[in-house]
Amino acid sequence: MTRVLVIDDEEPILRALRINLVAHKYEVSTAADGASGLAAIARDRPDVVILDLGLPDMDGTEVISGVRGWSALPIIVLSAWGQESQKVAALDAGADDYVTKPFGMGELLARLRVAVRRAAPAPDEPVVTGKDFTVDLAAKRVIRDGADVRLTPTEWQLLEVLVRHREKLVTQRQLLAEVWGPEYQSEGNYLRVYMAHLRRKLEPDPSKPRYLLTEPGIGYRFTANESVASPPGGLSS
Amino acid sequence: MTRVLVIDDEEPILRALRINLVAHKYEVSTAADGASGLAAIARDRPDVVILDLGLPDMDGTEVISGVRGWSALPIIVLSAWGQESQKVAALDAGADDYVTKPFGMGELLARLRVAVRRAAPAPDEPVVTGKDFTVDLAAKRVIRDGADVRLTPTEWQLLEVLVRHREKLVTQRQLLAEVWGPEYQSEGNYLRVYMAHLRRKLEPDPSKPRYLLTEPGIGYRFTANESVASPPGGLSS
DNA sequence: CCTGGGTGTTAAGGGCGCGTCAAGATCAGC
DNA sequence: GCTGATCTTGACGCGCCCTTAACACCCAGG
C-alpha cells in the first residue's frame, strides 16, 4: 500500500485529504508543521509527500531542500496563493508538482498517481545472486545453502541499499542517511557494527569479505562477481 | 542544449512559446497537429514535449498513449479548458504534467526544468576510458588490466577532479582547494606526492606520463586521447 | 659552469578509521 | 511484568593513510 505523508496546518483540509486518500487505498500520516514534517519523513519514509506551503514555523522551500539533501522522494506542493514566483521557487527547490488551491480532488489524485508511477521504476531484476547466497529484494528474503537467513530489520535495510546500488560504491553518509535518517550522518559506528553482522551472516569467510567490500575512507560496495584479481604490477614500493 | 517539441495549432501561442523558449536556450521545433507531432517525436527524439490538447485531427490522450507505447520521454500538457476529467484522463494516459491556460511563462519554464531534471539522471559522463585503464565516476572505480585498482580517498578525489575537467588544464590552486580545502592552497608538496601515487598506479610508464600531464608552473591536465603529436614537417622557427 | 625555482621520488612516523566485542538500553510479544 | 531479540553505545588494538621532510632531477638564466 502506498504511504502518503500530508504536511498541513489547516485542520479542515487535513481531514478532507485524509478521508479521500484513505478511500483510495492510501496509507495516510500527517504532520502539522515543517519541523515535525521533516522528522516524520526521516522516521516513516513515506512513498510520497503532500506539502502545504503555508506552514506556521518555516518556509516551504526550506522543507523541500531539507529533504532533497538526502532523498529523492516525490513531493507535491499545495498552496493557497497564486504567486507565480512562489511556484517557481518551490519547483526549482526540488518539488515534483504544484497544485493551487482550490483544487479538485480528482486532479490531486491523478497527480499523485503520476508521482507514484514515476517513482517506481524498479520492475527489473529484483533477485541478485552470488555463488554463496541469493538476495530477493521483492520477497525480502535471503537464502543461503537452501535455508532462509534471518536478518533483523536494520540489517535488511542496510543490505537492501547496498544491493540496489550493486557494483556501485555507496558512501557512508548516504548509507547512514538512507537507513538511519539524515541526522545520523556522523554515526560511523553503526555502519561498522551492522556491516559486521551482515558479513557474519552472509560471507563464507567474514574476515575476508568477497561480497560486502570496504572502500576505506569512502564507503562500502556490494559486488556479486568475484573479479577481484591481484594487480600484476602490484603495489610494491 | 535541451530540445523541446511544441505541438500546438494556434499560431500566436506557438510563436510566444518559441520566442520564450529560445530566449532560455532551448532548441525548439514545432508541429501543428497530432499526426505530424507523433512523426516529429519519432524522427527528432526531442528531450521533452509540450502538447496542446486542442488539436484539430486527434484527441490529446491518443497522442500521449501513442508515445507511451514506446518511449517515456516527458510530456507536459497544455489546455485551454479547466475540465477536471480531461486533466485526469491526460495524466492517467501518461502525461507528466498539466498546465491550464492562461499560464505564466515563468511557471511553464519551471515545470519544464522539473521535467528535464527528472529525465536526466545521468548529468555527467560517468565512464572515461583510456587505452590502459577505465575510470568509472559513478561507481567510483578504476579498472586496469581487468582488475580493480585500489585508490585511497585522497587519491580518488584528486583523480576525480582531474577527470571531471578532462582535457582541460587545472591549476594547482584549484586542485588543492577542491581536494584539501581552500586553506591549503600553498601546500604544493601534497600535489606532487599524490600525482606520483596516481601515476604509479595508472600510468604504463610512470616516468613518462601519457594521461596525467604536468603543465610546469601552472597545474596538471588529464587527457585520454594521445592526439598531442609534434608537427612532422620541419617548419620550426 | 654554477645557481635557483619548480618538480619527481622515496621513506618514516603519527594519527585515525575500521573491525571486533560486549554490556546496557529499548522494544515486542506473551 | 517478564523474557528474548534488537538496537545503541563505548572501548580497544591493528593496519593503513596522510603528512612531512629530505634529496635527486630538469631546465633556464647568469
Q: In angstroms, how far apart are the furthest CA atoms of chain A?
A: 71
DSSP codes joined into one string, A25-86: T-EEEEESSHHHHHHHHHHH--SEEEEES--SSS-HHHHHHHHHTT----EEEEESS--HHH
C-alpha to C-alpha distance for B79 and B77, rounded to whole angstroms? 7
Helix and strand tally (H, E) in chain B? 8, 12
Task: For chain A, give the percent of residues with pLDDT over 70.
Answer: 92
Interface residue ranges in chain A relative to chain B, Cβ cutoff 8 Å: 84-85, 87-88, 91-92, 95-98, 104, 106-107, 109-111, 113-114, 118, 167-169, 215-218, 221, 227-232, 235
pLDDT at B131: 82
pLDDT at A138: 79
Contact across the interface for B141 and A169, Cβ inside 8 Å: yes
C-alpha to C-alpha distance for B128 and B224, rounded to whole angstroms? 8
Task: Kindly report, residue by residue over A71-115, the tens digit of the pLDDT.
Answer: 889 999 999 877 889 999 999 999 999 999 888 999 999 999 999
B124, pLDDT greater than 90: no
Q: How confident is the model at residue B41 (pLDDT cuts 50, 70, 90)?
A: very high
Contact across the interface for B88 and A107, Cβ inside 8 Å: yes
pLDDT at B170: 93
Give CA separation, A112 vs A173, B2, B26, B92, in Å: 30, 27, 29, 10
Task: For chain B, give the percent of residues with pLDDT over 70.
Answer: 92
Q: When comparing pLDDT for B119 and B47, which is higher?
A: B47
Task: For chain A, give the percent of residues with pLDDT over 90.
Answer: 61
Nearest 5°: CA angle at A175, between A173 and A181? 80
C-alpha to C-alpha distance for A65 and A61, rounded to whole angstroms? 6
Residue of chain B with shortest Cα separation from A214: B150
User: Which residues in range 177-196 of chain B are in contact with strand D, contact meaning CB within 7 A of any of its atoms?
Assistant: 180, 187, 189-190, 193
Bases of chain C within 7 A of a CB of the protein? 6-11, 17-22
Structure-block grid coordinates of residue A156? 535488511
Closest approach of chain A CAs to the CA of B147, in angstroms?
6
Structure-block grid coordinates of residue B30? 514545432
The closest alpha carbon to A184, from A192, A174, A197, A170, belongs to A174
Q: How confident is the model at residue B185 (pLDDT cuts 50, 70, 90)?
A: confident
Q: Are strands B169-171 and B219-222 parallel, antiparallel or unpaired?
A: antiparallel
Give the number of other Cβ atoms within 10 Å of residue B82's Cβ: 11
- Find how far residue A234's CA is from the centre of its chain: 39
B227, pLDDT greater than 70: no
Whether the model clears a pTM of 0.85, i.e. scores above it, the answer is no
The average pLDDT across A185-196 equals 91
A189 touches strand D (CB under 7 A): yes
